């Protein structure tokens, strides 16, 4: 019931989205970006911090890097999982080569590593490449 708070992954604006519009192309009131993407998009660490703290939907982050073979293999699978979980969780990615201090901040020791956040708290993490079905099960579990 009621509205869900969602941070725009593009501009960082905090939006309120009626629950029944979560899968119906809700857009950011400030920049117009879709708030519930059916894809896993790369986010800026500053946006990650805001979304992690304020969002009412679970936020899952894939810490990856362009040089990492297993990360590249998992990329399309992770994107597929994002499509399956539209409206249930948002899946984002952080490039740890570009944002090295963010990887350090979250104590990422190997990649790919997925970390699931709910209302500002880390709920769990998992290292190693997985297939879409496994990712969905892990997030739901
Ligand atoms: Zn926006």
Give residue 1's pLDDT.
Answer: 62
- Does a structural domain hold residue 69? yes
- Does a structural domain hold residue 29? no
- Does a structural domain hold residue 62? yes
Give residue 25's pLDDT.
Answer: 83
- Does a structural domain hold residue 112? yes
For the stretch 41-85, pLDDT in tens is: 999 999 999 999 999 999 999 999 999 999 999 999 999 999 999
- Residue 47 Rama label (left phi>0; alpha psi -120 to 50; beta): alpha
- Does a structural domain hold residue 14? no
- Does a structural domain hold residue 64? yes
Range of the domain at 64: 37-140
H helix or E strand, kind and range, residue 121: strand 121-127
For the stretch 81-98, pLDDT in tens is: 999 999 999 999 999 999
pTM of the model: 0.95
Using the predicted structure, report yes or no on whether residue 107 has a pLDDT greater than 90: yes
Query: Catalytic: 28?
Result: no
The string of DSSP letters for 55-90 reads: -SS-EEEEEE-TT-HHHHHHHHHHHHHHHHTTTT-E
Q: Ligand 1 center to residue 60 CA distance, Å?
A: 19
Q: Ligand 1 center to residue 67 CA distance, Å?
A: 30
On the 0-12 / 13-18 / 19+ scale of CB atoms within 10 A, 120 is exposed
Q: Ligand 1 center to residue 127 CA distance, Å?
A: 30
Catalytic residue among 8, 11, 31, 71: 71
Q: How many domains does the chain have?
A: 1
Q: Give CA–CA dist 39/18, Å, rounded.
A: 21
Q: Which tokens is 74 given?
A: 């998992």
Output phi, psi for 72, to 5 deg.
Answer: -65, -40
Task: Give the confidence band of 119 by pLDDT, cuts at 50, 70, 90.
Answer: confident
Query: Catalytic: 11?
Result: no
Q: Where residue 127 sits, what CATH number does that domain have?
A: 3.40.30.10
- Does a structural domain hold residue 32? no
Q: Ligand 1 center to residue 72 CA distance, Å?
A: 28
- Does a structural domain hold residue 70? yes
């Amino acid at each position: 019931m009621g509205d869900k708070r969602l941070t725009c992954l593009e501009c960082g604006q905090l939006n309120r989205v009626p629950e029944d519009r979560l899968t119906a192309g809700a857009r950011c009131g400030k920049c117009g970006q879709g708030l519930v993407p059916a894809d896993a998009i790369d986010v800026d660490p500053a946006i990650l911090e805001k979304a992690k703290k304020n969002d009412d939907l679970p936020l899952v982050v894939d810490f990856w890097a362009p040089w990492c073979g297993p990360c590249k293999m998992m990329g399309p699978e992770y994107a597929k999982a994002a499509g399956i979980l539209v409206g249930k969780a948002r899946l984002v990615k952080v490039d740890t080569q570009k944002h090295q201090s963010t990887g350090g901040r979250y104590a990422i020791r190997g990649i790919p590593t997925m970390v699931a956040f709910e209302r500002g708290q880390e709920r769990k993490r998992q290292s190693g490449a997985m297939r879409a079905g496994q990712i969905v099960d892990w997030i739901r579990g």
